[in-house]
Amino acid sequence: MTHPAFAKGRTAVITGAASGIGFAAAEAAAGFGMGVLMIDLPGPALEAAAERLAATGATVWAQGADVSDLSALEMIAAAAVDLPPVTFLMNNAGIQPASSTLGGARVWSRILGVNLWGVIHGTMAFSAGMMAHGEPALIVNTGSKQGITTPPGNPAYNVSKAGVKSYTETLAHELRNTEGCKVTAHLMIPGWVHTPLTAPPGSPKPAGAWLPAQAVEFMLASLDRGDFYILCPDNDVPRALDEKRIAWAAGDIIHNRPALSRWHPDHAEAFKAHLARD
């Protein structure tokens, strides 16, 4: 089965489309016969990605934009009314520079602007048109496991992805309670995927990582099932391990443990025992 949103003669809009999961999603959409509106920062990377996809025979429109700028996405959405109906929107653009809780306001502003506001802006710019045409349609927002278990190391990224999770949950609720609405929202939660976000360009893929196409294939199967949480495994971490980590993180509140107790020396043995349980 294939979700009806992936239909020939329809349009897919993907941000962060020049590389990684975004480009793999663009390839998949094109494979269904959809036209693909690729949005990424203007420059050679977007141009090369659009040319590469167009060389397969796909119909491609490339638009350079910074997703932290709502007006830029609104302009693209306004122009897209002349395209076939948009039935798939993937707000995928993301960045991951290092951050600290104690400083670096500019880094925080940039990460939140792209990772969180980019998702909100993309949804606001395109959702009205997707709801208006009345066809089955999907909005997929790319979150992260780091937005759920919030490990130490990059708090701005964690906060941005936690925001994406919360926003997308509420979006799904509002859409399903809108009379006549055929648009649904879903949260993509990648595992370890070998992309420019996780590794330097040109570096070999680690054995534990998935390729972007594998993550997109998993996403498509999840959407066919109607899943909201698209929790991707990888070659190192099976779903069962993800579930235990997520349950432990929620348990910090329930059991009044210290914040991020998974990494707290006083709780290391208890976490290890938690992982060992069937």
Enzyme catalytic residues: 157, 161
Contacts of residues 161-165 at CB distance under 8 Å and 24 or more positions apart, as own/partner, are 161/115, 161/116, 163/112, 163/115, 163/116, 164/115, 164/116, 164/119
Cβ neighbours for 4, distance < 8 A, ≥ 6 positions apart: 135, 136
- In the block, tokens 């349009």 appear at 11
Distances (CA, A) of 183 to 93, 141, 179: 21, 13, 11
CB 11 within 8 A of CB 84: yes
